[in-house]
Amino acid sequence: MLKKILPVLLLGIAAGAVFQLKNHKQTAGSADPATENPALPKLLDLGAGKCVPCKAMAPILDEMKLTFAGRLQVEFIDIWENKDAGERYAVRMIPTQIFYDADGNELFRHEGFFSRDEMLNQWEQLGYTFAEAE
């Protein structure tokens, strides 16, 4: 009797482990970007890969992500691919940039194209200075 029950029991344990692993991956990947890294201020850009002003901002955001790594978290979310994000962040037009403090609190929101200098000036107005790497 034990020989018949043991394989079924092991199969049930294995299935439960697979379920837990899948569930953990889904919840780990669905963290709110605003609070994902609470140790750093964050610039969140919500746009779309096929939007002209969004495309113009992409290299600026990529450069800022590299230049200010470890001091500023920069993230882009394509709301045409992730429609829930548009609702979650109350996006009215794209691109939209949201500035967060290190605790994940929204400090400022801008709609439309925003140049690198304008973004850095906004950060300064909010009390943050990101010096260029030497």
| DSSP class of 77 | E
- pLDDT-based confidence at residue 74 (cuts at 50, 70, 90): very high
Do 95 and 53 contact (CB within 8 A), yes or no?
yes
Amino acid letter, 70 = G
pTM summary value: 0.71
* Choice between 60 and 31, residue whose per-residue pLDDT is larger: 60
For 50, residues 6+ apart whose C-beta sits below 8 A from its C-beta are 80
Alpha carbon distance 70, 53 (integer Å): 27
Q: Identify the pLDDT of residue 7.
A: 52
Q: Identify the pLDDT of residue 133.
A: 61
Return the CATH number of the domain spanning residue range 42-125.
Answer: 3.40.30.10
Alpha carbon distance 116, 65 (integer Å): 11
Q: Identify the pLDDT of residue 39.
A: 85
Q: Identify the pLDDT of residue 131.
A: 81
